[in-house]
A and B are shown apart, each in its own frame.
Chain A
């Protein structure tokens, strides 16, 4: 192997690429944890990630075998998978390999080979020596509001601030005079410092990888903040370059302190002979073929049933019986069961679409000093919607978080007065959880009574910071049309159409942003739902839509709402504008929603082991509501823990199935979109959003130590940007274990109802989207809308897929099925095919 010359820019770019990309807590969004390997096919990527960085990427071999023994991997599917991949001739041999052969499953990797030399040959545990101070220092610099006395120099860049501190302060950061000299008087580059520490240029890159991946959490955070400084409300100028310089200086300082200046040789002099270059080609192992086969068999055991179920859709009945009302929900898997109940109890028709309802804008709540993005994170909206005339200030105070309690005399006074109040409050919250100012409630995102500034005059466009305030009528019409056409709702409008966004509530939850609507950048979808409803009710907008062929009847009204997925509560916006007739039916519908929500709560409760699911729906619902208020509840809800598929098609094609909240459901009518134009928009979002959610769950669960955040119970909040264990731990990325207990590690299966050639053309339009499918980071299956034939997308082309499952059980008593187990349930038929 020849070593490339060390070029700083290239190496920094590499680091940016491989470090975790997790946003600060307030902007937490799900994404593929191993996106840095996304240009490789899934299985090769996983093997590479393990060989290079030592991440565990598959379940343990014994776990797969156990799943097989428990019947959770279907022997027939396993057989099919082995034959498909290995051929029939060596089937027996591979079957034995999977089931009985012993393998060395050690997760040996290439990180740390150089860094270890300090410990092994210099007897200096350099990581132990400097990590504590490094994390604390950079944490102080970035800190967004925990420290009461803030970092003294915040307007300068990280390195400039260090220089200023070091040159003035009487207490020095560095003990070694040489290091101080390097910092203050010589404009040293990373290369200069590496020359002192490592000595041989060929190892520079690898050394930096060792160093930075020893605390990938912090390095990743710095990299993210370098790329997106806007993520901090209180801005800081920090770059990976500055951070590395600082760490290198600390390392030299530690060595100088131990041995004396110039009394130690660079690391290259003590390097063992057998160091493997970090990016040398990997040696492929049979074990990983075995893993891949097991993983596929595990996945297709579930997919196969689901696909068979989809084939069993009843013939489309003519839609003569008009639905009582219609509801447009978010595609979120958590809405899957609620929609089922609303449809059944209310004789309603429901749709699913990305929960920002095609309305992209920034939102500024009243008194807010900043904006929040209300659309998928990759979009950059040009609009701003402002809230005014609120009744209750969004931010309520709680003295427990006050600075005074940490003062000497304030603390003295507060502990002897409020201290006793704390005891009462704590006891109260433990036995009777109730709302506190610390609660994160989806309903507080926007004040129900407030007004939204939506319209803008075509001729006098107002701008703030390059954002246009409000939409023009044409802009409104464009967005509404896009929404309606993409879900196929262009006729048969009922009188009331609900637009239901969603959000979550919790307390004591550092990852709260991950529980809200992903399509609204981790916020509640209330503003978008309300905006879409207001737009839909505008006569001018409807006129334009009529010109474009969508006739919304005059008596049809849209109504915005927010569903709180944790508490299973719903709230409606602007109800007072309803016509009398609609107001009357809305009153009835509200009761239906209430009942549906209780049923939904009951269905969810089977997953909460400490809740007794045998109680009545109302009783359970009461308990479930408390989860969001309880300080001691690390699992207010399961969030996306059960996700496994995403169906893009008409609701009529999957309404007959019990999907156990495991599927994202996006409504899409292929007949309205023969060219796949809207499909393109849907898949462009589905792959990264749903795929990202799915893979973050996958990797966090499989290697909870290194790709997940570990148990959240000991977490300590650092600078409001992240969490770490204890005082001296690295920032944790990924999801905590408490979000994952019931998750089954399956990749996402995307099923699209359209003609295969259209689907293929559509996904090929955008290379980033195509990468997801062709490299199998999500599975793609196309179901022919007319013949119900299935096509599986493999290696860039379609191949026929025949389900092995012959029968799907039918149930007309779902409640009984639900009570049977807390584990994942198989697919059930809820309606039987006529004839």
Chain B
């Protein structure tokens, strides 16, 4: 199976280059950019060759032999790769644009502080991109999805010494995480729907899908909605559109590759990928179409009134993606795919030449200017509507505030109810309640064996709720970084309890789940202790402190701990998370929702701790620092 090696090389070549790039001296610009260019360039040409061969010979989708990472009696975690015309298109466009962007940045980034960081992040992104595009099942897709989120965070916060990039990076990351709830739940529900780790290839079996859907109509719809949420968050569709212009904080080529072309089209990818599943559900298609229509219109209106070039391009792109959603809803996936390619190229180029707009449009104005009358309002419009429309469009239809108010402020308000908790007293509360919980657990087991009571249903939800409350408190915590950290850390123990109650959860599985958390949690906690000792007066979550200026290594270590604790695929916890979901029963929607919220909000809370302590304008001003508004 030569093809398999080829396909794997598209993933491992960038990964290898990424790892190498971490060990190169920051000063060696040429070497860094050469390695990046060679790895992406080679991938590109290999890909062209491979796709050419594939087109000439088989043109059948290829499912790679799966790699089993974890196996227990009733659960397997499988990494699976899948290659078909959709992945081929995405891979080709990705490689082509990344290659050009890297070559572009080689000069553009010259002498910029963070040169290596930039290229390493691009490589990491490219690796995640290929990984996601080639994913053959939900688990694999989710791994890639998570990595895309982190690389996005890193590129937006590239200018980490400034307030706005850091704040916006956290904001975008948060929206991405909301989308992740969708994927997590879709993954959970489809486990139960198919009773296996369904591969995307199997979805092509029309009769199978039809059979299953006819039986489990509502589960099918639930999965579709979850997927739509994930796709909408990633592709900046309604109501999540407002993150896209805010993400344009990095160097222009990184904005071009991320938000102009590649990353932004992942929602479309997900929908096309799930097409065999979605196309048989009219309701789902109508929903997708509605999201598309709303976004296309809102995006268009917002785009045309913006006085800043990148915002204008961003919304123009988003509204085109809205149209792609409509195309998908109509079942025109080929067209959507074609549309994606053109839109990706066009917006990349428009973003890259955006600084030229000054000279170009000023010249246009100089030679073609016509004195204006204030726009004559068309007869069917009143000032009331026209001005109102203008203001709404200028304000992006208040979508930014909308998401903030209806999602994040809710977490905050709930979390603030637990303000009696402090770093000092957290264990005083935790241990007794947890012991009580354990008691209930054992007692519950006993009772459950005897009588099938409501007890059995309520306890996991109770424990899950406690976990979620703790995590919301971590999210809203403003004062004590260590408290927020511990809350997320301890939250996992409640989650373990909630799931353990559900059914038999082996010690082995428990170790898988908690070992990663324990290592990351304890190391992270020590890092915080150390920082607190060094900077006792600059250690809260009220503001951004920018400690990375003085403690870059500590920041790096803590960042890795953050990733570990949030279940990023670098520790065993990641598989543990999936494992946990496999123990949530089919009818336990509430519990599944609680748990996925825990993971997602916990991730946001953690990245916030990292960002507030280590990123942003440095709190010490013995050197020059930027203003908040810069």
Contact = CB atoms under 8 A, between A and B. Distances in A.
Interface string A726-761: 111110100000100100000000000000000000
22 contacts: A136-B307, A140-B305, A144-B365, A145-B361, A145-B364, A146-B306, A170-B388, A233-B366, A395-B367, A395-B368, A415-B342, A416-B338, A416-B339, A422-B349, A431-B103, A436-B353, A631-B356, A702-B624, A714-B249, A719-B307, A726-B165, A726-B248
Interface stretch (B8-16, B277-285, B391-399, B588-596): B391-399
A131 B96 contact: no
B624 A367 contact: no
A400 interface: yes
Interface stretch (A194-202, A315-323, A507-515, A567-575): A507-515
A56 to B, nearest CB: 4
Given A152-B374, A400-B349, A727-B310, A713 B252 contact: yes
A171 interface: yes
B384 A170 contact: yes
A214 interface: yes
B364 A395 contact: yes
A145 B365 contact: yes
Question: Which of B246, B382, B386, B626 gathers the greatest number of chain A CB atoms within 10 Å?
Answer: B626
Interface stretch (B71-79, B108-116, B426-434): B108-116
B105 A632 contact: yes
A343 B307 CA distance: 50
Given A154-B374, A419-B346, A510 B246 contact: no
A767 interface: no
Contacts of B165: 714, 725-726
Interface in B308-325: 308-313, 315-316, 319-320, 323
Interface stretch (A101-109, A344-352, A480-488, A772-780): A101-109
A104 B348 CA distance: 47
B304 A165 contact: no
A717 B354 contact: yes
Contact of A423 (B96, B307, B310, B319): B96
A556 B105 CA distance: 51
Contact of A717 (B308, B320, B391): B308
B409 interface: no
A615 to B, nearest CB: 17
B130 interface: no
Given A146-B308, A411-B319, A713 B109 contact: yes
A324 interface: no
A233 B365 contact: yes
A507 B358 CA distance: 10
A531 to B, nearest CB: 20
Contact of A408 (B105, B250, B319, B342): B319
Contacts of B32: none
Q: Is the interface of B mostly helix, strand, loop or mixed?
A: helix
Interface string A130-148: 0101001101101111111
A147 B345 contact: no
A369 B370 CA distance: 9
A716 B383 CA distance: 31
A122 interface: no
A26 interface: yes
A144 B362 contact: yes
Contact of B366 (A140, A370, A416, A436): A370
Nearest to A57: B624
B525 to A, nearest CB: 28
Contacts, number: 347
What class of interface size applies to chain B in its complex with A?
35 or more
B626 A169 contact: no
B385 interface: yes
Contacts of A146: 306-309, 312, 357, 361
Contacts of B103: 430-431, 632
B387 A165 contact: yes
Interface in A636-689: none
A414 interface: yes
Interface stretch (A84-92, A262-270, A459-467, A704-712): A704-712
Nearest to B356: A438
Nearest to B305: A149
Interface of A: 25-26, 54, 56, 60, 104-108, 127-128, 131, 133, 136-137, 139-140, 142-156, 164-165, 168-173, 214-215, 217, 233-234, 367-370, 393-395, 398, 400-401, 403, 405-408, 411-412, 414-420, 422-423, 425-427, 430-431, 436-438, 440, 507-510, 512, 609-610, 630-635, 702-706, 710-720, 724-730, 732, 738, 741
A705 B360 CA distance: 28
A609 B110 contact: yes
B202 interface: no
Contacts of B309: 146, 716-717
A168 B387 contact: yes
Contacts of B390: 149, 151-152, 165, 169
Contact of B353 (A414, A508, A725, A729): A508
A148 B623 CA distance: 42
Contacts of A106: 620-622
Contacts of B389: 171
B35 interface: no
B25 interface: no
B403 interface: no
Question: Which of B339, B363, B375, B382 gathers the greatest number of chain A CB atoms within 10 Å?
Answer: B363
A742 to B, nearest CB: 10
B108 A632 contact: yes
B629 interface: yes
Contacts of A411: 316, 319-320
B361 A725 contact: no
A704 to B, nearest CB: 7
Contacts of A369: 366-369
A465 to B, nearest CB: 14
Nearest to A417: B342
Nearest to A407: B300
B356 A507 contact: yes
A609 B361 CA distance: 32
A717 B393 CA distance: 19
Given A406-B312, A711-B112, 6 more contacts: A153-B374, A170-B387, A422-B350, A438-B353, A720-B357, A720-B358
Contacts of B305: 140, 147-149
A560 B122 CA distance: 49
A416 B373 CA distance: 35
Contact of A401 (B344, B360, B387, B621): B360
Contact of A610 (B107, B360, B375, B393): B107
Interface in B90-125: 96, 100, 103-112
A759 to B, nearest CB: 37
Nearest to B158: A714
Contact of A727 (B245, B352, B373): B245
Contact of B345 (A394, A426, A509): A426
A105 B253 CA distance: 36
B303 A509 contact: no
B323 A368 contact: no
A154 B370 CA distance: 14
Contacts of B392: 171
A684 B166 CA distance: 47
B359 A727 contact: no
A395 B363 contact: yes
A189 to B, nearest CB: 25
Nearest to B369: A369
Nearest to A702: B624
Contacts of A422: 345-346, 348-350
Closest 8 CB pairs of A and B: A419-B342, A169-B387, A438-B356, A170-B388, A419-B346, A422-B349, A713-B251, A705-B626
A704 B112 CA distance: 13
A215 B629 contact: yes
B216 to A, nearest CB: 36
Contact of B250 (A60, A510, A714): A714
A741 to B, nearest CB: 5
